[in-house]
Structure 1
Amino acid sequence: MASNPTFKEIPYQHLENLISIAETNNTIVFRATYKRRTVAVKDSRFFCQTELSHHATLSHPNIVKFIGAITKEHRNMIVMEYTPSGSLSDRLQSGVQIPAPLNYSWSNDAVAAIEYLHGNNIIHQDIKPANFLVFPNGLKACDFGIARTLEATTRPSQAGGTMRYMAAERLNNPPLVSKKSDVYSLMIVIWEIMTGTRHFDGKTDFDLARERLVPSPPLSVPQNWPDTLKNLGFLCWQEDYHDRPTITQVRDMLFEVTEQEERFRVVEIANIRTMQQVPGYGNKLLSILTNQNGNFLLVVTAISYTKFHKRVKILPINFSGAGFTPKKHLSNRSICNANLFSQNRTEDIAAKRKKDGTTKIIKSNTNVRFYLTDNSGSKSQQYVSSIAIDSQGNIYAMCRQKLLSLFSAKFHRKRSVLNISDELPGQPLREDKYEWFCVKYDPDGTLLQELFTSPGFIAKQANPTLKIHKDHIYVNSWSYRGVIEKYTIQGQRERTLHLTNIRDFTIAPSGMIVGLTDRKVVLYNENGKFLEKEFDHNIASEPIVQQFVAVNGRHVIVANRQYIKVFKVL
């Protein structure tokens, strides 16, 4: 993270109606009004550059939104979004049990926030219920006053945090900074959410130190907890931090429990008119991409009102506190004529089908361009319906008609009708001329191998799409409702999934399949088993309108050329 981030300096006189709502030894939190919006203002007695540098650069649906700071006139204030519901600590102290599936949803919120921090090499160091605020859409993490970047140091100069949530290594001399320490503390918070009780309730930090009760995790877990959840607690509370799971492993295990217990919770958090945001006419939605901040990027085409040419534009749908909102469209000239899009965790690629049958690949992050080629180095000429990229950067293409060109293919067909037997230059049609097959290329576009031929999608107009998740390839077609072929990354066919009426689908990081019908979003496990959860989206007035679905973290977006809806799942 940047050491000196750019942030919005807010003049103190622009804050109105300041009312104190919370106070600790070093800070006072106010409720105030800023530009007709209710905000929270954290006033620190000691200036904390670390907290400001961290919070100003964080952007995630489960992190409290940073609005600005007041650093002039000897003031040390951070302005952030406000919630009237208070903190998770307030909710636990009220004695009201957190019902299912809300307790699972909040637990997943807490894990998502810490996973985002660890992904940016930030260790929170003070994970506790008081540092998770309750919003209508779930929990959000706050208070980065003693957070540390992993590059900055491995041992802080002094112990910080809350004693009852500390792991053993945090109480060493000197205390150790580790991501696994956050995992230990986070699991205690999850235990409190699930049980509705406080760890060492009624005892002060002085009592805990005097009686030598810490470090100690909860001594018991409820007998009705699923075995996976019990095992998660056992692993997270290991005394040796090397034996604890990573935050990603915690996320996967907690999702597994949520899936087994069918504790899904769905909240609609955005409803947007898509094409009002994109100037031009003849608009069409091509794809939905995501980024690591939890936002979505809609790839749309539009014909300019003034220049009368078609351009591909990126429409960001960014998270903004209470929900998702569209930003001003951005033109990206490197993909201005692209047809196909895909991405992995680190890079985006686009592809343009040329009239001569060749396919040009554009890596958007680096603006590197090249053609797909065969083993001889010549441009590969075939019709590509879909592309995908794996974690290693290898490119996969779903193809049809393995010819020198589509132009040559048309001539072959016409000559066969006219019974003209003269041979034409170029490669003759395959007998299975309309079969679709998957080809693998290296990151530079050189042909590696033909992986498989799809037995299910044989129609010329099938135009199958590829999706890759970990070590599996999934193939489906808009023309074949509910049929998804599943292959290993080596091209071996595993099974065909039959998901009722599914037109489009996406795969969550956990492996859950999110299927899209004309009216509903339906959840399946990675083997196609219905998870007993579906919900209406109703974004199309007519079922024939093509719709897309995408997942980023725990948010599901459903979009067509007219509307966008975003849902929070779990």
Structure 2
Amino acid sequence: MKVIEKKYLNSKKNLIYQLRREVEIQARLRHPNILRLYGYFHDSSRVYLVLEFAPQGGLYQLLRTNGTFPAAVAATYVRDVAKALVYLHANEVIHRDIKPENLLLDAKGVVKLADFGWSVKMDPEVRRQTFCGTLDYLPPEIVEDKPHDKAVDIWSMGILIYEFLVGSPPFQSDEMDETYQKISECKITFPENMDPLAKDLIQKLLQTEPGKRPTLQTLLQHPWILQNASKQTPTIPTQIERK
């Protein structure tokens, strides 16, 4: 259950519209790696979203607990999120806020893409220009206030892989302006011990020009995914055991 205070919705411009759009989009989605929205109701002070139960919580906390994810765990999560995005994009939806906080685990450890507050329906004739998402995951086109399309989700997958394997996003800085600059220039520092295949995939995804980013199908067929992702979704304990 997600509970939203009506006074919060009324406190900022466009929040009511954003919530309505979130409900309209998520309620129609049916995919094993997307959190179901079963319905909603409201009373005098709150709006309640009835969501699929994800008792194991979010990947953000799991990542903070463990520091990083082993390649097999990271690749499995990335593969399953990519499958969810293939479904979204096929249904003309851009998520626009891929990050560990918006990835939840159900009782079996299956990853579920959640929080469609920034999602939007695609128009093939129109590129979006809304400044949205989470700073560390923003692509250059949004930072530079340029029109954007579904390629923003591809960029976010590159950031996600890096954070899973390193423990922090690649462009994270203390100063916001410095983060903006790093994103625009795509300045990435890789650990010396990073798997060359993982590095190759991240570099392919984090292209400053949206048209040069690979498709999700290409991501799913990348050697790093094929060699590391589990054929069955593993049950991930709170504390990941490392061999």
**TM-score (ref. length: structure 2):** 0.79
The corresponding residue for 2:136 is: 164
Aligned mate of 2:224, from 257, 275, 280: 257
The corresponding residue for 2:4 is: 43
**Does the 8 Å contact 1:188/1:218 carry over to 2?**
no
Aligned mate of 1:80, from 51, 69, 74: 51
Distance 1:218 1:110, change over 3 A: farther
- Which protein, 1 or 2, shows the higher relative CO under an 8 Å CA cutoff with sep ≥ 6? 2
**Does the 8 Å contact 1:68/1:78 carry over to 2?**
yes
**Does the 8 Å contact 2:93/2:120 carry over to 1?**
yes
The corresponding residue for 1:139 is: 111
Q: Which runs of 5+ in 1 are unaligned?
A: 1-39, 270-570
1:138 Cα deviation after fit: 2.5
Distance 1:219 1:94 in 2: 24
1:265 Cα deviation after fit: 5.0
1:106 Cα deviation after fit: 1.2
Residues 277-316 of structure 1: pairs in structure 2 closer than 5 A: none
SS in 2 for 1:76: strand
Deviation per residue, 1:456-487 (Å, 9 max, x gap): xxxxxxxxxxxxxxxxxxxxxxxxxxxxxxxx
Distance 1:60 1:159, change over 3 A: same
1:120 Cα deviation after fit: 0.9
Q: Which runs of 5+ in 2 are unaligned?
A: 10-14, 236-243
Matching of residue 186 in structure 1 with residue 134 in structure 2? no
Deviation per residue, 1:278-333 (Å, 9 max, x gap): xxxxxxxxxxxxxxxxxxxxxxxxxxxxxxxxxxxxxxxxxxxxxxxxxxxxxxxx
Residues 517-536 of structure 1: pairs in structure 2 closer than 5 A: none
One-letter code of the match for 1:51?
Answer: E
Matching of residue 151 in structure 1 with residue 123 in structure 2? yes
**Does the 8 Å contact 1:163/1:214 carry over to 2?**
no
The corresponding residue for 1:33 is: none
The corresponding residue for 1:238 is: 207
Deviation per residue, 1:536-568 (Å, 9 max, x gap): xxxxxxxxxxxxxxxxxxxxxxxxxxxxxxxxx
**Does the 8 Å contact 1:123/1:177 carry over to 2?**
no
The corresponding residue for 1:266 is: 232
1:153 Cα deviation after fit: 7.0
Distance 1:214 1:43 in 2: 35
Distance 2:173 2:72 in 1: 28
Structure with the larger helix share: 2
Distance 1:245 1:211, change over 3 A: closer
Deviation per residue, 1:31-83 (Å, 9 max, x gap): xxxxxxxxx22426242211011100001111012121115646433210232
1:183 Cα deviation after fit: 0.4
The corresponding residue for 2:27 is: 56
